[in-house]
Amino acid sequence: MKTTRSKQLFAEAQRYIPGGVNSPVRAFRSVGGQPLFIKRAKGSRLYDVDGNSFIDYVLSWGPMILGHAPPSVIKAIARAADDGTSYGAPTELEVRLAQMITEAIPSIEQVRLVSSGTEAVMSAIRLARAYTKRDQIIKFEGCYHGHSDYLLAKAGSGLATLGIPDSPGVPADFTRHTLTAPFNDIRTAQQLIQEHHRNLACIIVEPIAGNMGVVPPGEDFLPTLRTLTQAHGILLIFDEVITGFRVHYGGAQALYRVTPDLTCLGKIIGGGLPVGAYGGKREIMRMVAPEGPVYQAGTLSGNPLAVTAGIETLTRLRARGFYENLDQRAAELAKGLGAAAKKAGVPLTQTRVGSMLGAFFTKGPVVDYASAKQSNTQAYAKFFHNMLNKGIYFAPSQFEAAFLSTAHTDADIKKTIAAAQAVMKSL
């Protein structure tokens, strides 16, 4: 695999950009080596600046559910760009996307568009605190909800990859209202609620943890959280930035039949362009300015290009059998990877919800952040690089999900499984 140009660009990037990247996981720190610089992407494939081609299972960390550069989405973006790229004023497109979101996810009666998942979560928690007139929140260890100061406590994603428990630059006062519990540990969550319910504004959770690998919720975890929060007037926030429209058209909340008070969205609703959203019950959302006193604003919120891409993407997702077909492909890939590991005698714990896949190099079950961290990250690093050399691009971190798109063909999956069979033997 040629990497000359990527190495040159990485050396140059480090002169101007911290660590040479604009998001930490991209730096390949947890797997070693240097990142590849991508020139273009199409369908299921990435193409780097050295001319290498890869079957891509990162998919820009999830949003490319139709694959890269789907023609209908690209055409829609081009048409929208002809009319201008940003107005800082309302558009009909914003109304259409908001309508599609509320129709798909009944718990969202009103929705506010923003520019990122971090912004969506930050705004939703501010709203929850204002609505309940309480300060404290509960989050779960290993769940990543963006890089707002008070949420960088026992977070996953890049923090898990880099081994940073918290972030310097965050005053202690900012996180003193943030309580943490292990994911899937309803007993600890219940104890925290009993002790602090008079000052608890909300509980925020990834319904399927996607930032410590892929960790599904236990059977009673989400329903019990819903019962406990309702009993004490605490708002339940689902962070569906990854899972929204990924595991079901109605999100993970439709899959598990648990209704939150507020939902945060991102990724897929922008069709690969920067976007985020938060929404929920009308009586809560009416507190958002200009209708209410809770201030939140953004010059690029509801950007016409991102909204257009989102409308076209969601339209495609409504096709009959869309999620069933995607699930079938993901199941085939997971089965092949598992069989390859078993035949090679490599300990591998697999997790999957729809087209989100996790693979942990450990024997035991993975149910929370502590068990996820038992994975052999050195084995994963070797697996990653050997697969990369065979033209397969997985996430450069043990603690991230793999994703499938409708652009992945049977030939792609067969090639990936064949590569895994050879690579597992080397582990």
Report strand pairing: 276-280 vs 262-266: antiparallel
256 is catalytic: no
- What is the token pair recorded at 100? 């599609």
CA 20 – CA 27 distance, rounded (Å):
7
239 is catalytic: yes
Q: Which of 48, 239, 261, 368 is catalytic?
A: 239
Q: Which of 139, 154, 267, 373 is catalytic?
A: 267
CA 285 – CA 114 distance, rounded (Å):
14
CA 329 – CA 358 distance, rounded (Å):
15
139: closest CA among 203, 185, 187, 228? 203
Q: Which of 131, 144, 369, 380 is catalytic?
A: 144
343 is catalytic: no
Phi-psi region of 115 (alpha: psi -120 to 50; beta: other; left: phi over 0): alpha
Phi-psi region of 88 (alpha: psi -120 to 50; beta: other; left: phi over 0): left
3-state helix/strand/coil string of the chain: CCCHHHHHHHHHHHHHCHHHCCCHHHHCCCCCCCCCCEEEEEECEEEECCCCEEEECCHHHCCCCCCECCHHHHHHHHHHHHCCCCCCCCCHHHHHHHHHHHHHCCCCCEEEEECCHHHHHHHHHHHHHHHHCCCEEEEEECCCCCCCHHHCCCCCCHHHHHCCCCCCCCCHHHHCCEEEEECCCHHHHHHHHHHHHHHEEEEEECCCECCCCCECCCCCHHHHHHHHHHHCCCEEEEECCCCECCCECCHHHHHHCCCCCEEEEEHHHHCCCCCEEEEECHHHHCCECCCCCECCCCCCCCCHHHHHHHHHHHHHHCCCCHHHHHHHHHHHHHHHHHHHHHHHCCCCEEEEECCEEEEECCCCCCCCHHHHCCCCHHHHHHHHHHHHHCCEECCCCCCCCEECCCCCCHHHHHHHHHHHHHHHHHC
By annotation, the residues acting in catalysis are 144, 239, 267
